[in-house]
Structure 1
Amino acid sequence: MKIKILSSILGLILSVSAFGAQTEGNGNFQEKLASFETQGGKYGIDSVKCITELSLYQEAFKQWKKSNYKSAIVNEFIPHWRWVFLNCPIASENTYVNGLKIISYYLKKATNDEEKNAYLDTLMMIHEARIKYFPNHYKTGRSQIGSLKGKMGIDLFMLAPERCEKAYNILKESVEMEGSKSSTAALVYYFRATIKMVKSGKADEELIIDTYDEISSIVDQNLIKYKDKAKYLSQWENVKGNINNTFEPYATCDVLVKIYSKKFEANPSDIVLLNKITKILKKKKCTKSDLFFNSTEALYNAEPTPESAMLMGKMNIEKEAYKDAAKYYLNAVDMIEDPLEKADIYSDLGKIYYKLNDYITARSYARKAIALNPADGMSYILIGDLYAASASKCGTNELTKKVAYWAAVDKYYQAKRVDAELTELANKRISTYSKHFPQMDVIFFHDLQEGASFTVECWINETTTVRAAK
């Protein structure tokens, strides 16, 4: 008896699918849907029968819903739902919402591939019909096509992962349409479909990286958008973790460099490609590769920006090519208007010239940084370090070879005054270099007194206070 009922129901479903939906490759959903007509307005040509059939199936559907979609009553009302679906397709959007529930119920009970494919094709046709007849959200009036395609792609991938290419294309279209408004589920399944495409040999590994880059951008936008809304923030953080975990096997520097080296060699002046390469390699901390350096340099030469100039500067610092690093930092500072950003670059330039043993220039940039950002304690630390490093070179006797430490310690005190977070660092230096102050007997020998003013000469030329070693 059960088999007989199921066969009867399958016959009804197949009649809905009679437009040609047998397998993925046979028939076009749009062609099938083109056969639907909406003559006669909302309730079709026979409005009385439409309203009657609509009422019959909806009342029974409510009872089925109360059974948690398990009751056999679905077998009784499906003919009424089918009539509404075929004859008055714009009567209610719930025809499609409920239809997806109904067909999913039978899909789970399918006993062979033929039945499964028939139900699945019907499910896809219901999705397409909803998109065709209800392209806009009933409340907002805005397009919901992208969102509905997302749901369609998720269903197809979950129920038939072997149809990953079709699911991927649907989900890709959804994400392209929705952008930052894409649902978290659509993004997760879009990435899963991408992985499946590569594993099944239908795409290269590069697609995984491109899709990851696309999805990551959307996730990051939403993390910023919902930073003050804990519930939504948690959802997006979970998506980020899910995507990153899935991507991990493909995120090694060796894989990334291998994939993008070929593309870089083929198109070394493609700005879009260069941006993509530098972004993904930087994100995955593959910045020590030749590819990263070469692509960043090419990007800077093609389209100089403060960011690319700074990046080139940092890479040259890592290579200890300090003169080249200084050149890029100077180019960057010329392109920046924000005073605090300029201050940061000047501070970095000070450190670079310290490495080049050009203490006068190093101090000059540190002072420029402080002028733009008086709270820049690290630049005071740098000047102190410059003075301490010069002490023995700036004197000829036991006193003058140590007076630079007075000036150095003065700068460390200034550092912690303007930036309390530097207190520990500054105190360590104060403790270290206070021990290098001249001894009390040396101070007396040179006819000086503690607390008196003293001008440190040499290149330093700072007035400080006489102090004995501690």
Structure 2
Amino acid sequence: MKKLLLIGFVVCMNAAAIAQPGWNWPEEVDKAKEKNALYVDAVKSKQYAVAVAPHQWLLDNCPDLNESLYINGAKIYEGLEDKESDPAKQLSYQEKALKMYDDRIKYFGDEANVLNRKAFAAYKFYKGNQSKYKELLDLFDKTFDMNGVETMDNNLVAYMDVVRRYKLSGGAISDEDVIDRYGKISDVIAEKDAVKSDSKYTVYQENVDKLLTATVDVNCEFVETKLVPKMNETKDPKMAKKVFQLLLSAKCTDSPAFVQAGELVYKAEPSYGMAKVLGIKFAADNQYSKAAEYYNAAVGMSDDNLKKAEIYLNMAQMFASSGQKSEARNYARKALANDPSAGEAYTLIGNLYFQSYNDCRQGVSKVDDRLVFIAAYNQYKKAGNTAMMAKAQEQFPSISEIFELGLAEGQSMTLGCWINETVTLERRPN
């Protein structure tokens, strides 16, 4: 009864349907419409086996009927494959499903878009079939070349997994070829993330990184030998980004190439994160002017007070390491201005004071000379650093030293030297 109703409906709508745009009906229009209605109804109810015969009649008699013939055809054979347990039949359904994508391109074009969809279907079918790995790799290569940043998200990690499977199964692909494809995938992920700013792309990149290290032995020597010369020759920012990422993932941040790559990337795409990394690296190498250049650039690229505080604290630590105590305190105070809860900054200032005894000592008054420890104690107290508070207290002047000079606990005293602060006189604990 259901079939008769569908046929009747098709006949009644005949005249209007013939003029329907996007449909290329054959001479046997009534029969074609009947077959179309029957298979579409079967697909909607997921009766894929029922859909095969009327769908095949349309493929044989009017292959350019409408694009939906191939969209639904893929659904039919993918649905049949999913329920099939016989390997031979599964393979047959897989091939028929993929042929739907090829024929869709043949009759209706839109190759890039259709390949995008075909690639992931093929990956699901063939990822466990070693004999199909070369075919899969060629398909993904073409899909990425044609689609670029429009490559479907599903294909990002899948492509790298195809590369891994082909390489580890003995496929004819060099380490350099693997790296090239890794770079291509990483570039697409980065471009997508720049547009959509979605955390899922960070996860995609992490997974692609893991697949790379599972495919080739990415170590310092490999990157420096295979990729760094090309980077230095071309100065290509994309190559530099690839080198930077690989050195980072291989824990090769001490390689000179890490900074070289970072500077090339920064020149092309200035960012807070890269400026911060370069500042840290140059500071570690005692190149303080270069470090300050990148640290200041990082501050200028951020509106986040906590990020600014972090950079200022880094600068304070750098100047402290180089013995520039006044400059170090200046940047520690800038860190506190942006983040008053930054206890590390107070501790750093306290350390600067504690370590200034010999610099500021005049040898005239033991009390005056030990005021640096009271000043240090005050900073440690603000930081909540009880261990250093105790150490500073041990260096306070003794009660006898205070009395000898006719001074009294609790009175204000001026500490000169570079520190130039007023402190309250306290004695050493007994």
TM-score (norm: length of structure 2): 0.74
The offset of 1:190, in angstroms, is: 1.3
Counting aligned pairs with the same residue, the percent is 24
Contact residue 157 and residue 164 of structure 1 kept, 8 A: yes
* Partners of 2:386 and 2:25 in 1: CA distance: 83
Question: Are residues 150 and 183 of structure 1, via their aligned partners in 2, closer, same or farther at CA, if it must alter by over 3 Å?
Answer: farther
1:410 to 358, 375, 378: 378
RMSD of aligned residue pairs (Cα, Å): 4.2
Question: Residues of 1 paired with 2:295 and 2:87: CA distance?
Answer: 70
Q: Does 1:392 align with 2:358?
A: yes
Amino acid paired to 2:398: Q
Instruction: Give the Cα–Cα distance (whole angstroms) in 2 for the partners of residues 40 and 309 of structure 1.
Output: 55
**Shift in Å, 1:449:** 2.0
Range with bigger deviation, 404-413 or 198-207: 198-207
The question of whether the paired residues in 1 share the 8 Å contact of 2:143 and 2:151 is answered with: no
State the distance in 2 between where 1:204 and 1:365 align: 50
Q: Which residue of 1 aligns with 2:99?
A: 125
Residue 129 of structure 1 aligns with an amino acid whose one-letter code is D
Distance 1:429 1:146, change over 3 A: farther
What's 1:85 paired with?
Answer: 59
SS in 2 for 1:110: helix
Deviation at 1:453, TM superposition (A): 1.3
Deviations 1:293-347 (A, max 9, x none): 333355567877665554333223333x243554534663685463734443332
Using a 3 Å threshold, how does the CA distance of structure 1 residues 94 and 188 change in structure 2: closer, same or farther?
A: same
- Please list the CA deviations of residues 396-435 of structure 1 after superposition, one character each: whole Å capped at 9, or x if unmatched: 24322321011112122333xxxxxxx4xx2222122122
Offset of residue 288 of structure 1: 1.0
Q: Quick one: distance in 1 between partners of 2:182 and 2:44?
A: 42
**Aligned with 1:247 (options 177, 191, 212):** 212
Which residue pairs with 2:120 in the alignment?
A: 151
Q: 5+ residue gaps in structure 1?
A: 1-37, 137-142, 228-232, 416-422
Cross-structure match for 1:99: 77
**Residue-by-residue CA offset, 1:246-268 (whole Å, 9 max, x unaligned):** 3333343343333323422432x
Residue 405 of structure 1 contacts residue 437 of structure 1 at CA under 8 Å; is this kept in 2?
yes
Distance 1:46 1:378, change over 3 A: same
CA contact (8 A) 1:456 1:462 kept: yes
- Residue 23 of structure 2, aligned match among 33, 36, 41: 41
Please state if 1:332 is matched with 2:297. Answer: yes
CA contact (8 A) 1:351 1:382 kept: yes
Equivalent positions of 1:165-314 (< 5 A) are 165-172=134-141, 174=143, 177=147, 179=149, 182-184=152-154, 186-199=155-168, 200-212=170-182, 215=185, 218=189, 221=193, 243-249=208-214, 250=216, 251-267=218-234, 269-297=235-263, 308-314=274-280
For residues 53 and 237 of structure 2, the distance between their equivalents in structure 1, rounded to whole angstroms, comes to: 58
Conserved 8 A contact 1:453-1:464: yes
**Structure 2 segments unaligned to the other structure (5+ residues):** 1-19
Take 1:442 and 1:427, find their aligned partners in 2: how far apart are those partners? 25
Q: Distance in 2 between matches of 1:63 and 1:456?
A: 88
* Distance 1:61-1:344 versus aligned 2 partners, 3 A rule: closer
Q: Distance in 2 between the 1:302 and 1:181 partners?
A: 24
Count, aligned residues: 395
TM-score (norm 1): 0.69
C-alpha contact 2:278 2:291 (8 A) present in aligned 1: no
* Worse-superposed segment, 341-350 or 300-309: 300-309
Deviates more, 1:174-183 or 1:281-290: 174-183
